[in-house]
Structure 1
Amino acid sequence: MNMPSSLPVVRLKPKANARAIRHGFPWVYDNELVTDRRTKGLAPGTLAVLEDDKRQPMGLVATNSKSRIFCRMLDRNVGASIDQTWFAAKFTKALQMRERLYETPFYRLIHAEADGLPGVVVDRFGATAVVQPNAAWADALLEPMVAALVEVTGVSNVIKNGSGRARGLEGLEEDSAVLIGTAPAAPVPVVMNGATYMADLTGGQKTGLFYDQRPNHGFAASLCKDAKVLDVFSHVGGFSLAALAGGAAEATAVDGSAAALELAFSGAAAAGVEDRFSTRKGDAFDVLTALNEEGARFDVVICDPPAFAPSKPALEKGLRAYERVARLAAPLVTEGGYLGLCSCSHAADVTRFRGASLRGIGRAGRQAQLIHTGYAGPDHPLMPQLAESGYLKSLFFRL
C-alpha cells in the first residue's frame, strides 16, 4: 500500500486556492506549488501527497513537472493504493451508469476527471475499447488500468490511441498500439438515433467516433422530416445520417476528409438511405461560399466544426471563426428553416459562443429565434468544479 510516508510530498503556496481544491477542483497549476529542485525533478507521472501551506494532507496526486497542470487529484485518501483494484472500482462505477443509460455497449465509458480518472478517455465499441491516456500518470500505470478495464467490462480488444493535442501539452509522445486482442479489421457499425455510423478505430479521428453529439443528433433529426439538409464539418455523417433516419428528403455531408466521407457513405448504405445521401469534399468555408454563390437553399443547415478556440489565447480568433461560420451558413437556410451551430471549444463558454453565432446571423441579414441549446450526452458527465469538462455546446435557431 502507498502510505503517505513512502511518497514524495508537494506543497501549496500560501496564496494558492486550497479551498477550491478541497471543494473538488481536481488540478493544481505549476505556479501554485512550492517548487524546488526536488519537486521539479519528479519523473512525469510520479504519485505524491499534496499538502496545503500548513502541511495538512489534501490528497494523493499524480504529478507532471512538464505540464502546466502540475498535479491531478487521484484520491482524497492519501493512503490509497493506485492498483488494479482501485481502477476496477472506478470502471465499475462508470459502467453501472452507462448500462442504465444505454441498451447497447456503445458509449463513452470514462470521461476523464468527471469519472475519477484525470486525463483518461475510454470509448467503448462493443467488444473493443479505445483508451486515450492523455496524462503522464495514466501512461505510467497503463498496464493495471487495462487489466481492470478487461476485468470489469469483459471487452476482448483494447486499443491505445496515443495521439492528439492533450498528450503534447503533457510532454508525451504520440504512441498508438493494440494492447489486448486485435484491432477490428473493418470499421465498426454503431447504431445511434436510428442511424448507422461507421467507426474507424485505428485510422479515424480521436477514438473513431464522436459519441458526445448523440442527443443533439437526435434533436436535429426531429426537425428534419421531409427536409433538405446540409451537414457541414460532417466527419462520418453525424447530423446528416441522423437527419435521414428522421425522415429527411435528402442530406448532403461536407467535410475536408475523403476518408471520413467514405465512411459516411458506408453508413448511409448500411441504413439503406444512400439514394437520399450525397457528399461534397472540400474546405468547409470554401464550400459554404460556393453554395451561396450557387444560390443553394436548405431547410436545415448544421455546422459542427473542430475546436476553433482550444485554449484561452485562441479565444478571440476562435470566436471570429464561429461568427464567420454563422455568417456563411445563415443565408443558405430557407425562410422559416433551421440552423444548428456547434462548438467543442471549452475556452468559449456558451454565452460567448451564442454571441458570436448571433453576430454572424445578424451580419448575414437574418433574424433568429433560439429554440434549443444542447450539450454533450450523459456518458460525457460534467464535473461541476471543472468548466473544461463541459466543452460541447449546440445551438439550434429558427431563421
Structure 2
Amino acid sequence: MIASSFPVLRLKPKANARAIRHGAPWVYDNELVLDRRSKNLAPGTIAVLEDAERNPMGLVATNPLSRITARMIERDVSVAIDQAWFAAKIKRALELRERLFDHPFYRLIHAEADGLPGLVVDRFDSALVVQPNAAWLEVLIEPLATALAEVTGATTILKNAAGRTRVLEGLDDENGVLLGTAPNAPVMVPMNGAHYAADLTGGQKTGLFYDQRPNHAFAARLSEGADVLDVFSHVGGFGLAALAGGAKSALCVDGSAPALALAELGAKDAGFGDTMSTRKGDAFDVLEALGKDGAQYDVVICDPPAFAPGKAKLEVGLRAYERLAKMAAPLVKEGGYLVLCSCSHAADLGKFRFACTRGIGRADRAGSLIHTGFAGPDHPLMPQLAESGYLKALFYRL
C-alpha cells in the first residue's frame, strides 16, 4: 500500500485535532466530514486522516458502520500497512513480555496500548489465540497471522470466534485455525504456582484471563491456612491461586459447568484435587443460600463479569456491585478478607469503590481497604484512553 492510494477522511473544523495529535486513538463519527464517498468505504479500509486544513495526521482504520469511525494506527502516512509493519509492532510488544515473564504464557498484544487498535493476542507457549475486535484486522488477518508466526515462532494460531466483528467471507477458516492444528485438549498454563486448564477452542474469549495474575498472587498471600470462597470463579482463577498459596480449602462457584470442569482439571493437575470443591449456580443465589446456612470463610473473592459494560448501564451496574458486596460481606469471618473485582471500564475506580464500601456497610460490616489491584503489565494502559484501565480489585480486611 502507498499513501497516495488511500482515501481521505477529514476532521470537522470544531473537532479536537490537538487531542488526536497528542495520542488520542479514536475518532468518532460526529468529528468527521462524512459525505457519500466516505460513508460508502468498506469496513476495514485504511485511510489518511486530515485535519480541517487538509494537513495529513496519520493513517486510520475505518468503519463507517461504527460510532468509532476511525482508529489511528500509524502517524507516518507513507508507511505500508503490510506484514513487515505488523512484525515491527509485534516485536516491540514481545520484547516487553520477554522482560516480564520467564515462561511464554501472557497477553502478547493488548490493543491500542501496543499500537494495534482492537487486537488482542494471548500466548499459550507455541499457540496464539487472536481476537480481532475491529474490522481492519479481519481484512488484514492473513499478513497479521504470518507476522505473528514469524516473530514468535508459534506453530498454532487460532482466531477466537467471540470477537466483536463479523468474519468477512473468504478470510477465515471454518474452525478458526489460521495456522497449524487446533489442540484437542485443554492447554495447562502455569501461573502463580497454580495450574490452569485453558480451552483455546471453546472457552470464554481467548480461553484464560491473564489480567488478574497480580491480583491472584496478592490473594494467595492472604490465603495461607484459610478457607476460601471464589465466586464467579470461571476456571478457578482465584481459588487455584489460593490453594497454591497454602489455603486449606477452596470452593469455586460459577454458572458454567464446563468452566468448573476446567477448574477441577487444574486442581487435579497441581495436586489440589482433595482441597478444591465446586458449586454450579447463579452467584447471587449461591451467596444467598450460603448466608442462610451461616457459612463463613477466611477469604471471599467475587470476580464478576462486567456489570457496567458501558455508560448506559453504569447506574444499574453500580447497584449490582453494591448488592454483591452486601451479600458477600456477611460470609467473611471476623478479621478475614473480602476481595471485590470489576472489569467494567464505565465504572471508574472511585465509583466502584464507593459502591463496594456502601454495600459492606449495608451488611453491617466495617473494615479497611488494604490494597487496590489492577491488570498486570502485559495489559498496558494507554494514558490517552481511559477505557484501557478497566480492571480494578479491592482488598478489604473486615
Q: State the TM bucket, normalised to the shorter chain.
A: over 0.9
C-alpha separation in 1, matches of 2:8 and 2:174: 30
- C-alpha distance in structure 2 between counterparts of 1:9 and 1:105, whole Å: 40
1:90–1:353 Cα change, 3 Å: same
Q: What's the secondary structure of 1:10's corresponding residue?
A: strand
In structure 2, the partner of 1:336 is: 335
Paired residue for 1:66? 65
8 A contact 1:162–1:174 mirrored in 2: no
1:250 is displaced (CA, Å) by 0.6
Cα pair 1:162 1:175 within 8 Å, conserved: no
Conserved 8 A contact 1:161-1:176: no
For the residue of structure 2 that corresponds to 1:20, the secondary structure is: helix
- Structure 1 residues 148 and 174, CA gap change in structure 2 (3 angstroms): closer
Aligned counterpart, 1:215:
214
RMSD between aligned residues: 1.5
| 1:209 Cα deviation after fit | 0.2
Equivalent position amino acid for 1:2 in 2? I
Gaps of 5+ in 1: none
Which residue matches 1:121? 120
- Residue 212 of structure 2: SS of its match in structure 1? helix
Helix, strand or coil at the partner of 2:161? coil
**Residue aligning to 1:40:** 39
Measured against aligned partners, the alpha-carbon deviations of 1:177-230 in whole angstroms (never above 9, x if no partner) come to 111101111100001000000000011100000000000000000000000000
Which residue of the partner structure matches residue 232 of structure 2?
A: 233
Q: Contact (CA 8 Å) 2:211, 2:376: kept in 1 or not?
A: yes
How much has 1:163 moved relative to structure 2?
1.4
Decide whether aligned partners of structure 1 residues 200 and 135 sit closer, same or farther in structure 2, where only a CA change above 3 A counts.
same
Change (3 A) 1:353 1:12: same
> TM-score of the superposition, structure 2-length normalised?
0.97
Residue 55 (1) aligns with residue 54 (2): yes
Where 1:185 maps in the other structure, the secondary structure is coil
Separation in 2, partners of 1:303, 1:80: 46
Partner Cα separation in structure 2 for residue 281 and residue 225 of structure 1: 25
1:277-314 CA-partner distances (Å, limit 9, x unpaired): 10010000000000000000000000000001111101
Task: Give the secondary structure class of the aligned counterpart of 2:165.
Answer: helix
> 1:147-162 maps to which residues of 2 (within 5 A)?
147-162=146-161
| Percentage identity across paired residues of the two chains | 71
Distance (whole Å) between structure 2 residues aligned to residue 167 and residue 221 of structure 1: 37
Q: Distance in 2 between matches of 1:13 and 1:364?
A: 52
Match of 1:167 among 165, 168, 187: 165
- Mark the CA change 1:372 to 1:257 in structure 2 (over 3 Å): closer, same or farther: same
Structure 1 Cα separation of the partners of residues 89 and 246 of structure 2: 40
Give, in whole Å, the separation in 1 of the partners of 2:228 and 2:5: 61
| Matching of residues 328-367 of structure 1 within 5 Å | 328-367=327-366
- How far apart are 1:162 and its partner, in Å? 2.8
Equivalent in the alignment of 1:76? 75
Contact persistence 2:332–2:338 (CA under 8 A): yes
Match of 2:282 in 1: 283
Q: Work out the number of aligned pairs and report it.
A: 395
Please state how far the C-alpha of 1:174 moved relative to its aligned partner: 12
1:49-92 deviations in Å (ceiling 9; x for gaps): 00111111110001000111000001000111000000000110
Map of 1:297 onto structure 2: 296
| SS of residue in 2 equivalent to 1:167 | coil
Residue in 1 aligned with 2:321? Answer: 322
Partner of 2:133: 134
The separation in 2 between residues aligned to 1:95 and 1:242, in whole angstroms, is 26
Match of 1:379 in 2: 378
1:121, 1:133 within 8 Å by CA — same for their partners in 2?
yes
- Counterparts of 1:237 and 1:332 in 2: how far apart (Å)? 19
Displacement of 1:175: 7.4
Deviation at 1:14, TM superposition (A): 1.1
Alpha-carbon deviations, 1:248-279, whole Å to 9, x = none? 01110000001000100010000101111100
Does structure 1 residue 2 correspond to structure 2 residue 2?
A: yes
Q: Where does the alignment leave 5 or more consecutive residues of structure 2 unmatched?
A: none
8 Å CA contact 2:172–2:178 kept in 1: the answer is no
Q: 1:242 aligns to what?
A: 241
TM-score by length of structure 1 reads 0.97
Q: Is the 8 A contact 1:370 1:395 kept in 2?
A: yes
CA distance in 1, matches of 2:172, 2:349: 32
